[in-house]
Every structure is written in structure tokens, then in C-alpha cells.
């Protein structure tokens, strides 16, 4: 095929990568561990370790090769596995922490920087195994470096498992007693997706193939740069500009995904076209909202701006990839976004506004630090609110909240690296204890009956 060189386009791509933080955020290999089940815990651990190392042995090297040849940074190479509560259900073990340590060892051996799937799907109720897994979370996530966990506790089809909501408030609190990192690797979901490549919520769903490659693209900086060019223009122009930019970003993700799939001989799953911010200056979702004309992210108008952004990103990306999936949209992790951190620090961005924003963003309350003395029931109530938004609006919502031991409003906490730093945010003081104590299930909404 002949190729006409267009130096303007080439310069644009190079600038996106060098100046605007364009990157592939993650290549995540999903691996089914269903065939690793064993009544003996030790045997189960051995099978899991061997399978992960066998399947993902070349993942990191392949990622680096693609990075070198195409000149696109691929920031993370990761693994997601079948929810461990399913894999371990046949084991007699009381604690699943040894399984988390096995995942950690396998992650280190393969060189990935996170492994997700210390997870349970309990939206309608618990199996014995779900409960064993959830009770192991504080130890499992605090004593491993690279293992991420998640619990799905609500869905539009099943309603909200309020027993799980109550339990997870306590588990988050217990995990936080052992340091903040455990909570930073733990997320609770409503309507969790089975092919999400992003952490902490990635797991390999039971409907997925044996192994699969999912790719998460990013690029808030590129969108911000493009929007700076259309100052004062109408929202029609803003939406169109975001769509065009998202198309280009996604095409790059698709190319990397197809190339990784071919080289690893692992089927391609989806491109997740999420705008995922990092703490680096110029790589912020909050900045995009501010460029749209808001003085500060978190002020009035923020929800509308985010709704437009989230929708335009999807519309632009959908045509650029053969399979779009995962969470796809815009993330709003407070500690990982320089603009969000600044707004939260000065008090413009509060938890109530973030909750409203989660109605229109692609996930939920993410990387939010709260006082260490927050009651477990208060955390449960925050989870219940978020799950209700997800359930009723037929979307994924999530809570990744970090009570920071010994700290209170006005302090801040530093997680390091991509996880960034966050000011401790104030919460409402009224107790929800009686509400949370009820237990049972909040029934699924009427529109769950779609057949």
C-alpha cells in the first residue's frame, strides 16, 4: 500500500505523545483460573502460580517491544484473573490470604505492576466462598503489594445486597487499620463489568475466553489541548472536537491491542476508551472541565460538563475500534488528578458533588480519602448511595474510599506513584447506622424487567 506522508499529522501525533501525555494506559491480560480449582489449598495455589506464569510470561516483554517500535508509551502491563471466590470455592481453607500471596508472587515473576481478581460477585447474596474471600481482604490486600480486589454487591438485575454493603463498610475500615494501601487496591462495584482492564477493579469474568487481551487507552491531556483551540465556541463544537480526539486516541489503542494480541497469540477482547488522569500536570480530567469554562472543577456546571465529555468520548471512540468495552468514559479519581486534588484541597470539590458527577461519569467515587475515625456504617451508607445510582441508571458505579488512620479533615495522604495524593475530605455527620443495620436486599428497579 502506498503511503502519503503528511508531516502535519505526524507532528501532531508526536506532540500528543511528547507534550500531551498520550499513552496506552494498560495492556491487561485476562486469564481464566477456573481449571485451577482444587480441594487442597496448596495444590490450588501451585496451579494458579504455574498457569499465570505460563500464560503471561511474555506479556511485559511484548508490551515493551510494541512500545519501542511504535514509539507510544504503554504505562502498565497487568493481569486480571477469574474472581478468586469462584476458583477457591472447593478449597477447605478458612482464609484466602495464601491465594493472594500466590497472585502477588506470580505478578512479580511475570513483571506486571498489578494483578486484579481477588474478587467476589455477591450482588444477590453470598456463597460460603464469597464470605471467606471478603473476610480475608484486610490481610490479603494489606500484606501483598500488587494484588487488587473487588466485590460486586449490586446490579440493575439483582438489586443491592445490603448485607454485603454493611459487611464491606466494616472490611474497608479493618483494611484501613493496616495502612492506606490496602484500601487503595480495593473497590466495591454495582454492575461490575467482566472485561475492564483498569485497576483496582479488573477481573476476568466467567463469560470470557481462556485468555484475552484488553487495552485501556488514556489521554486527558490530548483532549484538553484540543479544547484550548476552541475557546468560546458552542457546545456543538466542543462535543465534535472531543469526538475527533477520542477517535484518534482509540485508533492508537486498537492498533496496540491488535498487535499485542497477534504477538502473544491471545484473542483480542476490547479497547476500553477511558480518559484516565494521572497526577502529572496536564493529564487531568478536571482541567478539561475547567477549559470548558468552569473556574473550578466541582463548582456548579461540573456535572453537565462531565456528562458531555463522557458521552463524546464514547461516540468518538466507538467507530475507531472493532470492540469497545470495559468501563469506557471518563474517570474521576480524586487523588490521581492534579485538578481534582487542587479543587478538593480548597473545598470546591466536595463529596456530594462527586456523587452527582458519578451519575454521568464512567465509574464512581474513586480514590477518596476520608478521616480515619469514620464509622464503618457511614462508609456502608456511602456505598449504598453509589450502588443505588448504578442500579437505577443501569451503569457501573464504584466506591474506592480510603479512611486514613490518624488523619482528619485538613490533612492529606500520599499514596505515591500513579495513585497520587489526596486531601482528607469531610463527610456528613448524621448517622446511618439504623438504616445499614436492616440488612436484606434493596429490590431491583422496575426497569430491570426488560425481557
Partner 1 sequence: MKAIVSVFAQDSKGIIAYVTRLLAEKEINILDISQTILQEYFAMIMLVDLSDCGMSFVELSSFLEARGRERGLDVHIQRQDIFDAMHRV
* Coil vs helix vs strand at 56: helix
Least Å from the CB of residue 145 to partner 1: 29
Which one of the spans 69-77, 115-123, 147-155, 336-344 is the region binding partner 1 (CB under 8 A)?
Answer: 69-77
Which positions from 230 through 249 interact with partner 1, judged by CB under 8 A?
Answer: 248
| Single residue of 71, 209, 267, 347 touching partner 1 by CB under 8 A | 71
Q: Give least dist CB 72 to partner 1, A.
A: 7
Min dist. Cβ of residue 26 to partner 1 (A): 18
Backbone phi, psi, residue 378, to 5°: -65, -40
Number of amino acids touching partner 1 (CB under 8 A): 22
**DSSP for 356-395?**
HHTTTSSS-EEEEEEETT--HHHHHHHHHHHHHHHHHHTS
Which listed residue (52, 165, 224, 255) binds partner 1 by CB under 8 A? 255
Window 38 to 67, contacts with partner 1 (CB under 8 A): 65
State residue 78 phi and psi, 5-degree precision: -140, 170
Of 177, 118, 175, 180, residue with least CA distance to 146: 118
Q: CB nearer to partner 1: give 13 or 174.
A: 13
Asked if 9 touches partner 1 (CB under 8 A), the answer is yes
Element (H, E) at 68: helix 59-70
Residue 240, classed as helix, strand or coil, is helix
**Among 58, 70, 179, 280, contact with partner 1 (rule: CB under 8 A):** 70
- Judged by CB under 8 A, which of 7, 234, 265, 451 binds partner 1? 7
When the beta carbons of 71 and 347 are compared against partner 1, the nearer one is 71
- Burial of residue 355 (number of CB atoms within 10 Å: 0-12, 13-18, 19+): middle
Q: Tell whether omega for the bond before 200 is within 30 degrees of 0, i.e. cis.
A: yes
Q: Is residue 14 a contact residue for partner 1 (CB under 8 A)?
A: yes
Nearer to partner 1, 67 or 287 (CB): 67
Per CB under 8 A, which of residues 280..339 are in contact with partner 1?
319
What residue has cell string 505523545?
Answer: 17
Helices (H), 178-328: 180-184, 220-228, 235-264, 285-291, 302-318
Q: How far apart are CA 449 and CA 135, in angstroms?
A: 33
**Does the protein bind partner 1 through residue 273 (CB under 8 A)?**
no
Site residues for partner 1 per CB under 8 A: 3, 5-7, 9-14, 65, 68-72, 248, 251-252, 254-255, 319
Amino acid at each position: 500500500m502506498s503511503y502519503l506522508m503528511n508531516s502535519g499529522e505526524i507532528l501532531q501525533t508526536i506532540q500528543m505523545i511528547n507534550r500531551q501525555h498520550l499513552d496506552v494506559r494498560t495492556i491487561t491480560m485476562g486469564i481464566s483460573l477456573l481449571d485451577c480449582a482444587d480441594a487442597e489449598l496448596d495444590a490450588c495455589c501451585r496451579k494458579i502460580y504455574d498457569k499465570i506464569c505460563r500464560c503471561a510470561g511474555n506479556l511485559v516483554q511484548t508490551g515493551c517491544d510494541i512500545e519501542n517500535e511504535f514509539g507510544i508509551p504503554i504505562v502498565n502491563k497487568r493481569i486480571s484473573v477469574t474472581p478468586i471466590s469462584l476458583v477457591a470455592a472447593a478449597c477447605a481453607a478458612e482464609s484466602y490470604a495464601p491465594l493472594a500471596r500466590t497472585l502477588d508472587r506470580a505478578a512479580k515473576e511475570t513483571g506486571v505492576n498489578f494483578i486484579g481478581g481477588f474478587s467476589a460477585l455477591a450482588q444477590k447474596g453470598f456463597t460460603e466462598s464469597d464470605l471467606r474471600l471478603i473476610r480475608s481482604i484486610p490481610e490479603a490486600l494489606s500484606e501483598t503489594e500488587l494484588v487488587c480486589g473487588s466485590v460486586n454487591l449490586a446490579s440493575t438485575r439483582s438489586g443491592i445486597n445490603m448485607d454485603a454493603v454493611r459487611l464491606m463498610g466494616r472490611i474497608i475500615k479493618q483494611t484501613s487499620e493496616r495502612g492506606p494501601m490496602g484500601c487503595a487496591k480495593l473497590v466495591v462495584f454495582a454492575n461490575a463489568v467482566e472485561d475492564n482492564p483498569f485497576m483496582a477493579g479488573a477481573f476476568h469474568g466467567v463469560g470470557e475466553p481462556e485468555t484475552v487481551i484488553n487495552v485501556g487507552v488514556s489521554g486527558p491531556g490530548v483532549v484538553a489541548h484540543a479544547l484550548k483551540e476552541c475557546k468560546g465556541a458552542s457546545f456543538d463544537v466542543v462535543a465534535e472536537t472531543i469526538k475527533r480526539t477520542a477517535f484518534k486516541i482509540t485508533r492508537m489503542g486498537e492498533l496496540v491491542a491488535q498487535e499485542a494480541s497477534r504477538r502473544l497469540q491471545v484473542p483480542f477482547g476490547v479497547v476500553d476508551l477511558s480518559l484516565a488522569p494521572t497526577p502529572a500536570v496536564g493529564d487531568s480530567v478536571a482541567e478539561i472541565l475547567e477549559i470548558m469554562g468552569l473556574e473550578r472543577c466541582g463548582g456548579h456546571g461540573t456535572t453537565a460538563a462531565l456528562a458531555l465529555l463522557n458521552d463524546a468520548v464514547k461516540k468518538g471512540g466507538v467507530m475507531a475500534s472493532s470492540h469497545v468495552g470495559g468501563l469506557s468514559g471518563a474517570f474521576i479519581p480524586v487523588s490521581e488528578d492534579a485538578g481534582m486534588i487542587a479543587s478538593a484541597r480548597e473545598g470546591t470539590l466536595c463529596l456530594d458533588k462527586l456523587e452527582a458527577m458519578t451519575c454521568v461519569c464512567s465509574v464512581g467515587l474513586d480514590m477518596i480519602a476520608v478521616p480515619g475515625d469514620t464509622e464503618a456504617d457511614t462508609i456502608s451508607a456511602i456505598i449504598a448511595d453509589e450502588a443505588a445510582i448504578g442500579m437505577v441508571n443501569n451503569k457501573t458505579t464504584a466506591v474506592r474510599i480510603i479512611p486514613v488512620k490518624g488523619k482528619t479533615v485538613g490533612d492529606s495522604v500520599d499514596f505515591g506513584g500513579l495513585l497520587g495524593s489526596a486531601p482528607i475530605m469531610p463527610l456528613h455527620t448524621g448517622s446511618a447506622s439504623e438504616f445499614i443495620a436492616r440488612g436484606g436486599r434493596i429490590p431491583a428497579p422496575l426497569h430491570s424487567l426488560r425481557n
